[in-house]
Amino acid sequence: MTEQLFGTNLAAMVTPMNPDGTLSEPGLTSLVTHLLGTGCDGIVVAGTTGESPTLTDAETTHLVQTVATQAAGRARVIAGIGTYDTAATVRRARDAETAGADALLLVTPYYSRPTQPGIIAHCFAVADSTALPVMLYDVPARTGVAMAATTLTELANHPNIRAVKDAKGDLFEAMTVMAESPLAYYCGIDELNLPYLTAGATGLVSVIGNLVADHNAALIQAVRTSDLPTAQAIQRSLISLTAALMGTSQGASTTKAVLAELGIIPHATARLPLLEPPAPQLRQVAQALASWPELAGRTTRPEPRRRRARRTGSVHAPAS
């Protein structure tokens, strides 16, 4: 049932932008076509990799509506709606439901660092506000506070709260919560996809899925069929690409640079405070791509074309 709600092979989609920082409609259409064509059965819109903190409410609603229309039942659309403000998050949840989202991604409130009872109250308020299934997003490195295991098991009592995107990396805690609650786990750390799947995770919410969702699908299938040697071989093949994309906290801008180089999106623009990846990281990405003929074969230069990205980023943010 959880797989039907969220999918298993989810991509944490970047948000394509024009050089002036506005949303790129051609880029969005092309990227969704690519994700569907490489086996994504779930697309996360306006998550961390989608630069959610710099998107306006109107932009987020537009993205959800556009992706939902194009996906048209071929993939679940999960809308990132979490903020540090419960009232604003409730409003965004309702807007996402109206726009056609299939599910919600609810991050722990950030900056204010609420107590665990505060996190529970926040999540219950959002889950009460719509009929959509909710995937919690536990990412303390970005929010400043983690969801305790007891908090997760308490939140599992809400009928709409069905899953967790775990970017905490505490595998023993994850296994414990899976054993003690009905929550489905989705690995949100590409470096640990194989360990989470073998420990019982339902699926992945992947940044590298923007590029190699088909390989993620093969990894999931190998684990499900108990073919550990194949799963290990797939994971080994992904190490260099994963390291290149996730080597800094700016995975969104690095992934955009690769997608633009491959012609999947027209520009690599990200909004400030994200910057274009530095030259050493671009070289690392180029080296990683060289081991992927199906990707590297689409490029015409030895490393991503820097002219497609703005070193200073964009400050454009249309009014909602």
* Catalytic residue ranges: 137, 165
Residue 112: closest CA among 83, 81, 139: 83
The CA distances from residue 146 to 143, 151, 217, in Å, are: 8, 10, 29
Tokens of 102: 């299939």
CB-count exposure of residue 1 (10 Å: 0-12, 13-18, 19+): exposed
CB-count exposure of residue 100 (10 Å: 0-12, 13-18, 19+): middle
**CA 75 to CA 9: how far, in whole Å?**
10
> Phi and psi at residue 103, in whole multiples of 5°?
-160, 170
